[in-house]
Chain A
Amino acid sequence: MDYSLYSKPLLLTLRVAGLATIFVAMTGVPLAYLVSRRNFWGREWLDAFCTLPLVLPPTVLGYYLIVLWGRHGWLGHWLYQTWGISLMFTWQGAVLASALVSFPLVFKSARAAFEEVDRNLENVARTLGLAEGAVFWRVSLPLALRGIVAGTMLAFARAMGEFGATLMVAGNIPGKTQTLSLAIYAAVQAGNDTLALTLVVLTSGACILILVTSGKILTLSLK
């Protein structure tokens, strides 16, 4: 029983999805705070731009990523010439693809969560002498945390299930970039139904677990 056929894609998927989620949380939450608190010119355009990956087909996103990061891409050729690095066919490229598709989930939930936070509480903190940064860390973020965490879990589930963009950018290399969804695709194409079924059950179980947990957190936050 070759467990590596299941463990390799599973561990790779968890690693790629995990890193992608951390990355989008680090970038999405501050951006969402900015968008929810400051009214600047082009704010809604920025919001729409950040939500775009949710709406665009993954293959479109994959193509944009290739245009940007491919070896002859706008940023890719500079990256290759300066450091000899190419993101194509690497698990780092897979992280990039997954991060791109799951970014809107964190951004949107975080923005909604921050907008729910009572501004008066923040103002009270300011009158009590708290600096802006401390207002964020000690007042806004804790109050918005439940919504943000629920959004982050959804982003994690989305990053786990990413297929189209990952296939185009990272390829389908067993052991290196073959995530669970790509492994299932390869198993079906090769006619290996047992492997495909096992991987499908494994992936479904993992995603259900994530959704149930995130649902519980969301209901807790609404109380």
Chain B
Amino acid sequence: MNWLKILALGLWILALVQPGLVLGAQELMVSAAASLTNAFQEIGQRFEQQHPGTKVIFNFAASGYLLQQIAQGAPVDVFASADQKTMNQAQEKELIVAASRKNFVSNTLVLIVPQDSRLVLTGPKDLVLLQVKRVAVGNPATVPVGRYTQEALTQAGLWESLQPKLIMGESVRQVLDYISRAEVDAGLVYATDAAIAQGKVKTAAEVQGHQPIVYPVALVAASQKQALGQEFLNFLSAPESVAILSKYGFGLP
């Protein structure tokens, strides 16, 4: 039974040592708004190619949720949010390096419907029609797209009257998913998300009536890798990153 004891000892040592093994590579943890998923994954790959030995780990979710994680001590190095409000909250709580904060892209809000929908919507005001039973929007408490939606619909005087029809998503990608699967009749997402799901959704109209959608990015104050994080921030303004972002439909800040 000696080999069994050696095996057990070996596994035990491995379990203890394992965290250390993982931290070996130079890793950069980037928490970014869900709408940046596809563009950032590509940018991350380019960054890794240009910085051999570096690994970029992405964490995509609603900006409000990401802020909660950082506030509770998540080991994040860079934070990119989909609205100024979340970044302002981060700055107030001194979670970011204020000097590193900059705007890097802009986006637009659109009203979309499932691909096989027979509804013809010309704008948000058509959401009050009886045929529209369910409308997917982001949760304004934590999701920036939900806040822009609330602004736009409030300005159009529709927010209160549409309440019974609203299905709140926990991130813009969840809202997009609901519409792609035709579980709802319509929804509001960013133009960049509508572009990703082409073939499953179609854009009905662009929606105005909200503050400009400008995404900020910043270094997290508690990060141990600020130099590397700053390089990533600089890389976001490089021509190839700008090209990738505009390929996915993002605009200049």
Minimum CB distance partner of B140 in chain A: A190
Minimum CB distance partner of A84 in chain B: B133
Residues of B within 8 A of A172 (CB): 139, 168, 170
In the bound assembly, the distance between CA atoms of A188 and B139 in angstroms comes to 14
**CB contact between B183 and one of A71, A174, A186, A190 (< 8 Å): that residue:** A71
Residues of B within 8 A of A88 (CB): 183
Tell me how far the C-beta of A190 lies from the nearest C-beta in chain B, rounded to whole angstroms: 4
| B142–A190 CB distance below 8 A | yes
In the bound assembly, the distance between CA atoms of A70 and B183 in angstroms comes to 7
Does B65 count as interface, using CB distance less than 8 angstroms? yes
Residues of A within 8 A of B141 (CB): 186, 189-190
Tell me how far the C-beta of A93 lies from the nearest C-beta in chain B, rounded to whole angstroms: 10
Residues of B within 8 A of A86 (CB): 183
Does A89 count as interface, using CB distance less than 8 angstroms? yes
| A190–B167 CB distance below 8 A | no
Does A75 count as interface, using CB distance less than 8 angstroms? no
Minimum CB distance partner of B71 in chain A: A191
Secondary structure at chain A's binding surface: helix, strand, loop or mixed? loop
Residues of A within 8 A of B170 (CB): 172, 189
Are A191 and B68 CB-contacts (below 8 A) given A171-B167, A172-B170? yes
Fill in one digit per residue for A148-177: 1 if any B CB lies within 8 Å of its CB, else 0: 000000000000000000000001111000
Tell me how far the C-beta of A201 lies from the nearest C-beta in chain B, rounded to whole angstroms: 20
In the bound assembly, the distance between CA atoms of A189 and B184 in angstroms comes to 24
Residues of B within 8 A of A43 (CB): none
Does B181 count as interface, using CB distance less than 8 angstroms? yes
Minimum CB distance partner of B89 in chain A: A191
Does B64 count as interface, using CB distance less than 8 angstroms? yes
Fill in one digit per residue for A102-144: 1 if any B CB lies within 8 Å of its CB, else 0: 0000000000000000000000000000000000000000000
Are A171 and B64 CB-contacts (below 8 A) given A70-B181, A72-B181, A88-B183? no
Residues of B within 8 A of A174 (CB): 168
Does B182 count as interface, using CB distance less than 8 angstroms? yes
Size category of the binding interface on chain A = 10 to 19
Are A72 and B168 CB-contacts (below 8 A) given A189-B68, A189-B142? no
Minimum CB distance partner of B174 in chain A: A171
| B64–A190 CB distance below 8 A | yes
In the bound assembly, the distance between CA atoms of A174 and B167 in angstroms comes to 10
Please provide the chain B residues from 157 to 202 with a CB less than 8 Å away from any CB of chain A in the complex: 167-168, 170, 181-184
In the bound assembly, the distance between CA atoms of A191 and B62 in angstroms comes to 13
| A89–B167 CB distance below 8 A | yes
Does B134 count as interface, using CB distance less than 8 angstroms? yes
| B167–A173 CB distance below 8 A | yes
Residues of B within 8 A of A89 (CB): 134, 167, 183-184
Residues of A within 8 A of B62 (CB): 189
In the bound assembly, the distance between CA atoms of A88 and B134 in angstroms comes to 11
In the bound assembly, the distance between CA atoms of A171 and B137 in angstroms comes to 12
In the bound assembly, the distance between CA atoms of A191 and B167 in angstroms comes to 21
Fill in one digit per residue for B68-93: 1 if any A CB lies within 8 Å of its CB, else 0: 10010000000000000000000000
| A71–B142 CB distance below 8 A | no
Residues of B within 8 A of A186 (CB): 139, 141
Residues of A within 8 A of B167 (CB): 89, 171, 173
Are A171 and B168 CB-contacts (below 8 A) given A70-B181, A71-B181, A190-B142? yes
| B168–A188 CB distance below 8 A | no
Residues of A within 8 A of B68 (CB): 188-189, 191
In the bound assembly, the distance between CA atoms of A86 and B181 in angstroms comes to 12
Tell me how far the C-beta of B205 lies from the nearest C-beta in chain A, rounded to whole angstroms: 23
Residues of A within 8 A of B182 (CB): 71-72
What would 8 more interface pairs be, CB under 8 Å, given A71-B182, A189-B141? A86-B183, A171-B168, A172-B139, A172-B168, A174-B168, A189-B64, A189-B170, A191-B68
For this complex, 25 residue pairs linking A to B, each with C-beta atoms less than 8 Å apart, are A66-B181, A70-B181, A71-B181, A71-B182, A71-B183, A72-B181, A72-B182, A89-B183, A89-B184, A171-B167, A171-B168, A172-B139, A173-B168, A174-B168, A186-B139, A186-B141, A188-B68, A189-B62, A189-B64, A189-B141, A189-B170, A190-B64, A190-B142, A191-B64, A191-B68
Residues of A participating in the B interface, judged by any CB pair closer than 8 Å: 66, 70-72, 86, 88-89, 171-174, 186, 188-191
Q: Which 4 A-B pairs have the closest CB atoms?
A: A190-B141, A88-B183, A71-B182, A189-B142
